[in-house]
Structure 1
Amino acid sequence: MSTTSVDHQSPIETDEEFRERLRELPPSAKLVAKVLEGDEPLSQGELAEESLLPDRTVRYALNRLGDADLVGSRYSFRDARKQVYFLDD
């Protein structure tokens, strides 16, 4: 959703900035972000299954995370009809 530029910030500053942007979001977005901390990108359905949230709530959370430039997406390599989501560094 956004491209990151190369800068010379320390990882701690980047993590603090991430946490600050996340702090302003609703609890559902925080939970989805927590589930996305794993290494593998997940589809909306997988996120709903892992978070125990309804599909509609996951979609709302992903939109909010996307608006805050905290999540990225791409087409799934396993099923090109689906998008998978990951935390945007």
Structure 2
Amino acid sequence: MPWFRTHPEYLPVLGRTSDSMESPTATLADEPPSAKLVFKVLEHHDSLTQEQLAEETMLPRRTVRFALSRLDEAGLLDEQVSFRDARQSVYSLSSEGERVRSRNE
């Protein structure tokens, strides 16, 4: 049982409700379409930069950046510094993202 169900007294301190702390699948279901699309593209690629994601999804870079931030907040992404260009990051699914992926297959 999740801690927020057994200790609801902590919720006001943290400023969160139990509705916002559901399972990762529910979290992905609540994400905007752009985040779902970026997640789907990352399911089929090992890792991509923001620029590559923008090319693959045909979304503006700003929208991809927003989608990445939402997926990162949900704990579904891993971000690594690119070996080719240290100014860029490479994104891939985290272990939690892989679990969500396997549930959706």
* TM > 0.5: yes
What is the TM-score when the length of structure 1 is the normalising length? 0.75
Indicate the residue corresponding to 2:93 in structure 1.
87
Q: CA RMSD in A?
A: 1.2
Moved over 3 A (4+): none
Indicate the residue corresponding to 2:42 in structure 1.
36
Cα deviation per residue 1:16-50 (whole Å; 9 max; x = unaligned)? x4432210100000000000112421000000000
- How many matched pairs? 73
The question of 1:51 aligning with 2:57 is answered yes
DSSP-derived class of the 1:37 partner: helix
Code of the residue aligned with 1:78 in structure 2: it is: R
Are 2:79 and 2:90, in contact at CA under 8 Å, matched by a contact in 1?
yes
For residues 49 and 39 of structure 1, the distance between their equivalents in structure 2, rounded to whole angstroms, comes to 13
Unmatched runs of 5 consecutive residues or more in structure 2? 1-22, 96-105
Indicate the residue corresponding to 1:7 in structure 2.
none
Structure showing greater Rg: 2
User: Counting helix residues as a fraction of each chain, which structure ranks higher?
Assistant: 2
What fraction of aligned residue pairs are identical, expressed as a percent? 53
Indicate the residue corresponding to 2:25 in structure 1.
19
For residues 64 and 41 of structure 1, the distance between their equivalents in structure 2, rounded to whole angstroms, comes to 17
Indicate the residue corresponding to 1:63 in structure 2.
69
Unmatched runs of 5 consecutive residues or more in structure 1? 1-16
